[in-house]
Amino acid sequence: MQSATKEDKRSLMQIIDSLLSFTLSDKLKFAIKASLSMALAYLIPLSQGWSQPGTAATTVMLIAAMGSVGDSVMKGAMRVIGTIIGAAVGMTLIGLFPQDRDIYLLTVSIVATLFLYLARAYKGDMTVFMLSAVTLMMMFQNGEVDNVFIFGIDKTYMTIVGIIIYTLVGIFLWPVNLKDTSAENAAALSILQSKLYIQRDGEKKERKALHQKMISKEQLLGTSIIASDSSSMEMNFSKTQWYDIVHSYKKIDELLTLLSYHDKASYVDEFPSYVTNYQTIDTEILGLLEALPLAWKEQKEIEIPEALNYEYNISKVKELSQLDRADMSTTISDMVKLHTQLCKLAQKLNSLISPMPTLFTLEDIPKPATFLWFDMEDLKGSLITFIVFWTATLLWIYVNPPGGFMIVLLATALSVLTTFSPLKPSLLIIIFSLSFVFATVMYIFVLPNLHYAWELGLFIFVYSFIGFYFINPMLAVFFLLGTATLGINNTMSYNFDIFLIILFMFYAFLFLLLLFYYIPFSTKPEHLFLVMKKRFFKLSQILLQRSSNLTNDNGSFLGKMRAKYSKIHLMGTVKKMQLWASKVDDKYFDTIDKDLLLGFTKECETFVYLLEMMHHRDIQMLDNPLIKVFREKHDGATLADLLGEYAEGKEVKDIDPFWKDKKQIVTKIEDSLKVFLSNVEPGQYSEKEIIEFYENISLRRNVWLSLFSCQKMMEELDFKVLERSRF
């Protein structure tokens, strides 16, 4: 009996503990916060007798559609500033062209397109620029001039109310910020680095998988810092300090790539006999790599070893061949560099996590760009936005549909979400139709029976919760547009004709988005994948040609600008390849192995990483006389020529067999190196120049090996079938 009582008490305590430890999922928290913001966006204006509460609610929808899980005062302030800028520009244009409607609309179309281009190009919170464009267009009251400024002020005021409500709810209710994951990302990256270092001579498949994960995690860490709010960075680091730490991680990733990309060399097992302090270097590197995750997770200070250098056993090294000697010296040089970089990173972390934090000396590094300028899809998307604006405007002028200029506003603003995006307008029409059915039921059976403010608030909350919780945030905005058909206001009149008129307005702008999803540019995944594939090879060729021209003193300003553009957009192009490859319909293109297609894009990502690293090192080694002499004596067909052929759309089968024969190319390079190095006199070049030469050769070998992997996959993929027309 006593044991049974103890078991009952234990089970009761377990229930209490489970209730106390219960936590809501991030998805549920987001849905509750967004839904509460929607309810307050209606209730507060209605309680104060303000007009246009729907404007505040629409603002909340647009912000939540971007998938923001948390907000800060700074983000809210920036959105308010964007709104005020849009309102100021809109009112200025109305004042300048009160009677010249054509000139006014032309100017608005250009300025709105510019704002929405900035929204596309910005790497942070795009709602700042979207709200500017939306507010600008809201100033236009269907061409009327009476009380236009009062109308504009009311619209601006209600937009700001919506921003403030969403921001305050985000701050005080389960505050979550994107930056909260930065330390976790850094710790996860450190763990991957440690694994890759241990497996640097392991199985190729495992090394490649770890390398690709490391690249992705590095990019995620960098993106989270750019998108974060500088007002309260994770672990109290400033944004500048985070940039410096990310830069250190990039250097470490580069060195680990060089150490792990090629297969195990024959001399590796006897490394300690060639470098007497190899074991010390290896042990200290591993110790630092294992200590970094603990520093992030547990704030544990890292024990930093003293700086060291390699110590050769010269007599033993002379027994190696020239190529093995080059490979070995490059490897040990990279290990020492890795040791140095790990020590620098450890010092930075120690200075920031110690009980008495001190600032570390920042490296002179360029800050990541906050805008991705002149991306081709952003430019073409902006052109589509401009066309959408004028098509909707002509529809409004000549057909005068219900809703008036609101069709232009919605079609133009939301075109940002559908141009060159996997988000298909046909899917949006389906979602809105579901919302329409739901809204109709609510309009007939629920709204007439609501008598108190709390009932209306609960109704809006539940309606919004269904959208935000069960539908992707970007799609939820189209479900929640159904609330706009209900005509919720202080003075409401239940008129089904008005309900259907508003419904028509929303279908009109959705069909406009559907029309321009397919014209003037094709957005079929297979077409966009092939476009990105050609662009990938072309940008890679430009970057390689720039390196060659710099070495031969043929660098031009135009070449510099083209190379800069290539470097900025190359990795983004590969990411787009991966996106559209994942969207290719393998049921229609049944001869395409989708897994192999995605594997090809992953290998292209590795190739870009290695190519950019080589280009950066080429610039650093410009003054190396040994590299200059070697390039002058071996100026023949290059990798850039091969990339150029692929950029023209040629398949692997159409390429000269020499470029596909890995063994033949490697043999030719080895023979060239032997002949060249045999003519180098002892003491003719410094040790630093010789090591840099070996490093340069190693970098180029890695790029070649990556391209061979790409070619092997390309041989097995029938890209021509993706050109097949389909409806």
- For 621-664, the pLDDT digits (tens) are 888 888 888 777 765 457 888 888 888 888 888 887 777 777 77
Q: How far is CA 229 from CA 76, 177, 185, in A?
A: 11, 8, 16
The CA R_g of the chain, rounded to the nearest whole Å, is 31
Stretch 396-420: mean pLDDT: 83
Q: Determine the pLDDT at residue 20.
A: 44
Q: Determine the pLDDT at residue 21.
A: 46
For the purposes of burial, counting CB atoms within 10 Å of the CB of 266, is it exposed (0-12), middle (13-18) or buried (19 or more)? exposed
Question: CA triplet 122, 125, 126: central angle to 5 degrees?
Answer: 60
Task: Give the least confident one: 223-237, 288-302, 666-680.
Answer: 223-237
- For 667-691, the pLDDT digits (tens) are 777 777 777 777 777 677 787 787 7
Provide the angle, in degrees to the nearest 10, between the axes of the packed helices 473-480 and 453-470.
140
Q: How many CB atoms lie within 10 A of CB 588?
A: 11
30, HSE (Cβ side, Cα atoms, 13 Å): 24
SS3 274: helix
| Mean pLDDT over each residue of the chain, to the nearest integer | 81
- For 210-227, the pLDDT digits (tens) are 888 888 888 887 776 665
Residues 6+ apart with CB under 8 A from 154: 50, 51, 52
DSSP 430-481: HHHHHHHHHHHHIIIIIGGG--SHHHHHHHHHHHHHHHHHHS-HHHHHHHHG
Q: Determine the pLDDT at residue 537.
A: 93
| Interatomic CA distance for residues 132 and 138, integer angstroms | 10
Q: Which residue has the tokens 């430009």?
A: 542
* More confident of the two residues 442 and 119: 119
Q: How many CB atoms lie within 10 A of CB 312?
A: 15
- For 545-570, the pLDDT digits (tens) are 877 766 555 567 787 888 889 989 99
Residues 6+ apart with CB under 8 A from 172: none
Stretch 229-233: mean pLDDT: 49
Q: Determine the pLDDT at residue 178.
A: 43
| Interatomic CA distance for residues 542 and 644, integer angstroms | 9
Cis amide prior to 175 (ω within 30 degrees) = no
| Interatomic CA distance for residues 708 and 710, integer angstroms | 5
- For 453-462, the pLDDT digits (tens) are 888 889 889 9
DSSP 366-420: PPPPSB-TT-HHHHHHHHHHHHHHHHHHHHHHHH--TTTTHHHHHHHHHHHHHTT
Nearest partner of 251 among 209, 288, 218, judged by Cα: 218
Helices (H), 238-277: 239-260, 271-274
Maximal CA-CA distance, the chain: 97
Kindly state the tokens that stand for 203: 């199985």
- For 329-388, the pLDDT digits (tens) are 778 888 888 999 999 888 888 887 766 656 666 666 667 778 889 999 999 999 999 999
Phi, psi of 553, deg, nearest 5 = 60, 30
Q: Determine the pLDDT at residue 436.
A: 82
309 with 255: CB under 8 angstroms? no
Residues 6+ apart with CB under 8 A from 195: 210
SS3 103: helix
Nearest partner of 476 among 485, 489, 459, 463, judged by Cα: 463
Give exposure, 530-548, as e/b (b: 16+ Cβ within 10 Å).
bbbbebbbbbbbbbbbbbb
DSSP 39-80: HHHHHHHHHHT-S-HHHHHHHHHHHHHTT-----HHHHHHHH
Number of residues in the chain: 727
Q: How many CB atoms lie within 10 A of CB 20?
A: 7
> What percent of the chain shows pLDDT beyond 90?
13
Residue 491 pLDDT exceeds 70 = no
Q: Determine the pLDDT at residue 232.
A: 43
The gap from C-alpha 664 to its chain's centroid, in whole angstroms, comes to 39
- For 155-171, the pLDDT digits (tens) are 888 888 888 898 888 88
Q: What sign does the CA torsion over 355, 356, 357, 358 have?
A: negative
Residue 1 pLDDT exceeds 70 = no
Q: Determine the pLDDT at residue 356.
A: 60
Phi, psi of 433, deg, nearest 5 = -65, -40
Residues 6+ apart with CB under 8 A from 285: 197, 335, 338, 339, 342
- For 576-615, the pLDDT digits (tens) are 999 999 988 877 887 888 889 999 999 999 899 888 888 8
- For 384-407, the pLDDT digits (tens) are 999 999 999 998 888 777 667 888
Beta-ladder partners of 371: 122
For the purposes of burial, counting CB atoms within 10 Å of the CB of 653, is it exposed (0-12), middle (13-18) or buried (19 or more)? exposed
- For 194-204, the pLDDT digits (tens) are 999 998 888 88
Residues 6+ apart with CB under 8 A from 414: 477, 509, 513
Nearest partner of 410 among 112, 123, 107, 147, judged by Cα: 112
Stretch 498-514: mean pLDDT: 79
| Interatomic CA distance for residues 134 and 87, integer angstroms | 9
Q: If pLDDT is split at 50, 70 and 90, which confidence band does 111 have?
A: very high
Q: How far is CA 428 from CA 59, 120, 410, in A?
A: 19, 20, 13
Amino acid letter for position 71:
D
Helices H / strands E in the chain, number of each:
27, 0
Beta-ladder partners of 275: 312
pTM for the complete prediction? Answer: 0.82
* More confident of the two residues 254 and 181: 254
Q: Determine the pLDDT at residue 539.
A: 92
